[in-house]
Amino acid sequence: MHTSHPRLPGELTFMALIVLFSAFMLWASYNISRFDSLSSPGFFPMLCAATMLVTGLMSLVKTARSKLALAPGQTVFQQFVQKLAPLTLVLFAALIVAYMLLLEVLGFLVASYLFLLLSMQVLGSKRIGLNLVVSAVVLAAIYIVFQTAFSVVLPAGSLVGPYLPEFLK
Amino acid sequence: MMEALGYFFMSWVDVQMLLLTAMGTFAGIYIGAIPGLSVTMAVSILISFTFKWDVNHALALISGIYLGGVYGGSRSAILLNIPGAPSAIATGMDGYPLAKRGEAGQAIGLTTVVSVYGGFIGILALAVAAPLVSDLALMFGPRDYMLLAVWGLLLVGSLSGESLSKGVFSGALGALIACVGLDPMTGENRLTFGSMQLSAGIAYVAAMIGFFGVSEVIAQIHELKLTAIKQNVSKIIPSWGLLKKYLPLATRTSTIGVVVGALPGAGGDIAALMAYDHAKRTVKNPSRPFGEGAYEGLVAPESANNAAVGGAYVPMLTLGIPGDAVTAVIIGALYIHGLKPGPMLMIETPHLFWFIVGSLVLANLFLLVFGLTGIKIFAKIVETPKPVLLPLILVLSAVGAYAINNNPVDVYWMLGFGVLGYFLKMYGFQVGPVILGMILGPIMDRSYRQAMASSGEDVGVFVTEFFTTPLSAILLACVVLTVVSQADWWKKLRGRK
């Protein structure tokens, strides 16, 4: 039994969520073809979802039995922030989301350059000059290699794209 | 025979492929060595770029990266005491103490040579065993494939994680993700919730990059502040006397590596730990006590993890069942190139098999060259600060996910799986089984339905056939043993003896 190590903040919620998700998927799988036959298209998804439900419940029970190790005066939320979502991580994750969303609008080069600069700053690489150069060099390398060797068409961006010089498209 | 030889040397005589193999091996060593970059991550990202290439070129590159990456982890384990890859966890236990004594150069030299040696044993096993297994595989019925797939998932779930239930959950999640889209047998929509986007299924590569790339990058934020210690690296090439002394051990542990690698679901990381354990139990007079810089503690895991590469290719090529997470990704690559790994691959495209064996041998030779050179520059690159490295990996991941279909939706999937993967990891789930589940799920689905249909939808017949066919009975026994050996009551029973 692994009940010995303390429960992490948010672990119980996460386990409950995956159990709910599994139950929902079981219901969705059941709706594919109900119990028509034992080799129907819905049978295997149902089996997977049922397995997830059972093993998810097992993990939920195990988690519920273990105890949180809170420091005196610390709330669960504070510990969650400290152990799972420190500020740097949240900021970085927000930058990632923004980057993915803006990739289509700003285009690969502009969006990536901004993302690289900002995230290096957030993660603590404070030498701005170096960050500027490293980002530019690496991005240029990625762009050239992928555009030529791998013939990957990277998004030019709907906002910036039309104004870019021809060779950068 | 001559024909096979021709294909074997194909990547040796073609300048482009020769260069790609060399580049792959070189890059693999660095990818494996840089903590935070894994071979699985690299191969996942690469697949999305190389799918427009000729399949041979892609395979040559991947062979190099795989072999180089499995080895590369050892360098950072020795120099920094941070295993660059999971397969190098055991290496640091004795490698780092050696480096602290100022013997880093020698440790790296010895590691390189035994890795190459292990690699050759693995490849030899692949060349000899694969044709035999492939003949045997023709006798495998749908039921046997189903059992193999189940066993693979259970093995990876139980060996790599802290609890079997979490491992099985991850595997089932992967299998369920793979179900989304049109049912390959009837064309019905499954779990698409009326969305056209989902009818096409969830891009396998996007999920892979999300689980191995993005989630890893996010998780690494917790370890931003680890810094490297400067090492004195000189006298790299080991003496013949030293090598001769450790050859018998390396041969034994390479054999362990091959066998573990060939088990569905278990790869280099587990092989290395088992080999280290074997060395600890069998070597009576190590050069120094284990854990304080014993050469044996380097030789055993490093020969085993490279031998596991050849081993892992065996079930992948002959049965279409991945031997570990990397081969699961490589299977994905083969699918993308329109190839179907399995017994028919060896029969229909034997040239491909000999080509793979040939490029693995070539990559292994390059490993020897690159492994013994350039260690000083290497130390610099491995010290790339994470605040610079992590954003770069993320950009590469985004490019990779976008490149599959030129579709931004895949990038969002990648991001979603990345965040999910992060929380799964933090709460003690493994992401490896998810990917294996995505590969094995469709195999299980198809083989189960075929088996059920062939027994006339009769549960009684279906169940009895598990016991009446010898092959199925053996596989079933393996599955049951894996589950039982993980059960608490069994562990207690054994502990009491």
User: Domains of chain B: which residue ranges?
Assistant: 2-139+224-407
Report CA torsion sign: B464, B465, B468, B471. negative
Q: Which percentage of chain B shows pLDDT scores above 90?
A: 23
Angle separating helix axes B296-319 and B55-80, nearest 10 degrees: 160
Asked if A91 and A164 sit in the same domain, the reply is yes
pLDDT bucket at B217, cuts 50 / 70 / 90: confident
Model confidence at B392: pLDDT above 90: no
Q: Is residue A82 part of a domain?
A: no
Question: For residue A89, is pLDDT > 50?
Answer: yes
Contacts 24+ apart (CB under 8 A), B200-204: B202/B177, B202/B178, B202/B413, B203/B401, B203/B404, B203/B405, B203/B407, B203/B410, B203/B413, B204/B178, B204/B332, B204/B438
The per-residue pLDDT for B197 is 82
CA distance B207 to B417: 6
Residue from A61, A150, A158 to probe the interface with B (highest B Cβ count within 10 Å): A150
Residue A145 inside a domain? The answer is: yes
Which are the contacts of B325, defined by CB distance < 8 A and separation ≥ 6? B40, B156, B212, B267, B432, B435, B436
Whole-Å CA distances, B38 to B35, B342, B416, B420, B489:
8, 27, 20, 19, 36
CB contacts, 8 Å: B406 with chain A? 153
Whether residue B414 has pLDDT greater than 50? yes
Pair (A61, A134) in one structural domain: no
Q: Which of A21-35, B158-172, B239-253, B437-451 has the lowest mean pLDDT?
A: B158-172
Mark whether A45 and A92 lie in a shared domain. no
Q: What one-character DSSP code corresponds to residue B84?
A: S
- CA distance to partner chain A, nearest, from residue B297 (Å): 29
Displacement of CA A15 from its chain's centroid (Å):
17
pLDDT of residue A37: 81
- Most B CBs within 10 A among A96, A108, A116, A132, hence the mutation to make, goes to A96
- Residue B211 C-alpha, separation from nearest chain A C-alpha, in angstroms: 15
pLDDT tens-digit series, residues B252-265: 999 999 998 888 77
Q: Examine the domain organization and report whether A113 and A152 are in the same domain.
A: yes
Same domain for A104 and A157: yes
Instruction: Supply the pLDDT for residue B482.
Output: 80
Buried residues in B309-320 as b, exposed as e (16+ CB within 10 A)? bbbbbbbbbbbb
| Contact (CB<8Å) A52/B173 | yes
Range(s) of the domain holding residue A40: 11-73
Where residue B21 falls among pLDDT bands split at 50, 70, 90? very high
Predicted pLDDT of residue A2: 43
| Inside any domain, residue A81 | no
Residue A130 lies in a domain: yes
A99 with A164, same domain: the answer is yes
pLDDT tens digits for range B66-78: 999 889 888 878 8
Does residue A15 sit within a domain?
Answer: yes
Judge whether residue A3 has pLDDT over 80: no
Last residue of a domain, one of A73, A99, A115: A73
- Full-model pTM: 0.80
DSSP A27: H
The tokens for B287 are 């050069």
Spatial CA neighbour of B283 closest among B246, B323, B337: B246
Number of domains in chain A: 2
**Residue-averaged pLDDT of chain B:** 84
Residue of A68, A81, A62 whose CA lies nearest to A18:
A62
Using alpha carbons, select from A113, A53, A90, A167 the residue that is nearest to residue B391.
A113
ipTM of this complex: 0.90
pLDDT tens digits, A53-71: 999 999 999 999 988 878 7
Length of chain A: 169
Domain co-membership, A133 together with A160: yes
Determine the Cα–Cα distance for residues B292 and B307; give it in Å rounded to an integer: 25
Same domain, A21 and A51: yes
To the nearest whole angstrom, how far is the Cα of B185 from the nearest Cα of chain A? 8
Q: Is residue A4 part of a domain?
A: no
Cβ–Cβ gap B176/A96 under 8 Å: no
In angstroms, what separates the C-alpha of A73 from chain B's closest C-alpha? 24
By Cβ distance, the residue of A44, A59, A120 closest to B391 is: A120
pLDDT band at residue B148 under the 50/70/90 scheme: confident
Task: Please report the pLDDT score of residue B390 as a whole number.
Answer: 86
The reply to whether A139 falls in a domain is yes
Identify which of A28, A41, A125 has the shortest CB distance to residue B388. A125
CB neighbour list of residue B13: distance below 8 Å, 6 or more residues apart:
none
